[in-house]
Structure 1
Amino acid sequence: MNGKLTKSEALELITPVIDNEASAEEREAFMAYIAHDDEVRQEYQAMKALKSVVRSRCPSAKAPDSLKKFLSSLCSSELSEAEAPPIYDVPCKQTVSSHNNPEQPGDDHDFSNWWYFATAAVVLITALLWGSMSYFNSTANSSVYNLEEYAYQHFTKHDGRLVSPTISTASLGFAEIQLAQDYDMPMTIPELEKAEFKGVVYDEFVPGYSAPLLEYHLSEEDQYIYIFAFRLDKMEEFGKLVRNEEAVNTCTKSQDFHVRNVNGKHVVSWKWNDIWYTAISNHDGNTLASLVKPLGYTNR
């Protein structure tokens, strides 16, 4: 090989050099050429980077026998047709630039641009796909759960009926002791007007976070009331359970409460010390709040 390459020859050597298919002489001549041709060097580096990405993301696998047989039959078919007379393309008319310059320097430049942009497009698509997967994985791992909406989901899931209690008792005091001792949940269990306390269900409220559900029964109406309780410090530590912003701003004193309509059900929230309470039933929100004796609310 001649020691000096033309641009066209250098472009043709990009793939063989990257794939280690070029001879030592060809590789040496290529490296000498790109030392003074920035455009070809950039294309070489872009193709090398692309092949590195593909190699790392798409490990090779052994081809199945069926594919080998298909390729073998295809090659045999092509060999049998090799004796047929060739069909030549109709030559294109010369462009203005090629007519003005017989050496056609624009051909190498056009091929160079096409190769560069094609390589850049593939690299960009690969980066976008990888970024999309990373984004969706990170999104899945950082799910945020709305507290009032999940209270609604639990209520509708059980049709507003009694859920088998973890702590089955009618005593508010006994339930408070059990929650403090067994679940590190010291809290005040509210007394409800005309309602019988049925116990506590300690279970997963949202994936990865458990909370107590206080259950009450109004025998006159045969209606159940759910009250969920959350330690604010544990909820903040969990970081994925969010409260209604208006409710947070409203409930600052012990008798404050907030009503939110979630799909036709009223969810009532309030705060006592470091415990956040969220109640739901089939009642109007103000009616439900009036049943919670310590809130001291009269529904007029």
Structure 2
Amino acid sequence: MSTPEQSQYSPSPTVILESDKSTGAQPMELFIVDEHTEHYLTIQAGDESNRGLLTGILTGIGGIGGIGLGLLSFLQSGDLKELNIMLAMCTPMCVIPFLWETLRPLPLSILFNRRTREVYFDHDGELFHAPWDGIVAIANEFQIVGAQIGSIQNASLEIRVWKFEEPETALMISLGAPFGKSLALQKGFWEYIRSYMNNGPYFDEHGNHSESDTFVKSQLAIRPKMSDSFKETREEIKQAKREMGGKNYLSGHDVIKLILGAMFYPQDRIQEFTYSIAKRRSRNLWPSVVTERLKANGPTTRLVDLE
């Protein structure tokens, strides 16, 4: 793979990162790794983080709330009429948005295959790829300046891929949005990918191979999950109770957080479940030459070898 010329970029700091050379940075996950498995790693390529939110709101608040009211009315009166009405109203409210959000395909992730040592990318239904060995990434640092926002440091991280069976067509693809990232952060993320492809699937804080997944799990666990907020609030209250010896440990702020957390917990869990279903369905949209190479016993030939 030829090294892209730096002249095509602005005079701002531009760094060439290579697959076989360390940047000296510690591996760091930037909240965009979608799956980290033994054989492949995927990076979110589209802004679909809110997929499942509609289902979560309508089901977690409207559906469960409505059915709960109907059940309460039944327990009070013994009449199934109002419960049946609520079920008739709430069932479509839950099922329709769930089907709509899970049946619509998610944008396919950027996929790094350890077994075949190559990268896959889907662009409008067309398959692009690049061999990992010899690949380079361009890290370009720049600033956005505005009267209201001041100066914000940003850094992009891009690699080049080629269209399958049409190698004269190439794309530069971004490994995550550049906004709010520094050059140091992008170097750390490149080290995360490099460590996975060269020393993985598991590695330590220095990028060296490890039989333990402790460091990788610690990196992936940093990503915030909305459903974790209720658990974190409960842990904070328990900690306050221990520190205060059980006396006057519960503040009004804690009560509000606990009530709101309990109210929104079903919504957040349903959203995450809906997103996971949509993601699994979308994974099957890869062409067969890719899906068969994701299997543990699949072929190890690279797409460039097929060409």
Q: Under a length normalisation based on structure 2, what TM-score does the superposition of the two structures give?
A: 0.22
Larger relative CO (CA 8 A, sep 6+): 1 or 2?
A: 2
Q: Under a length normalisation based on structure 1, what TM-score does the superposition of the two structures give?
A: 0.22
Larger-gyration structure (1/2): 1
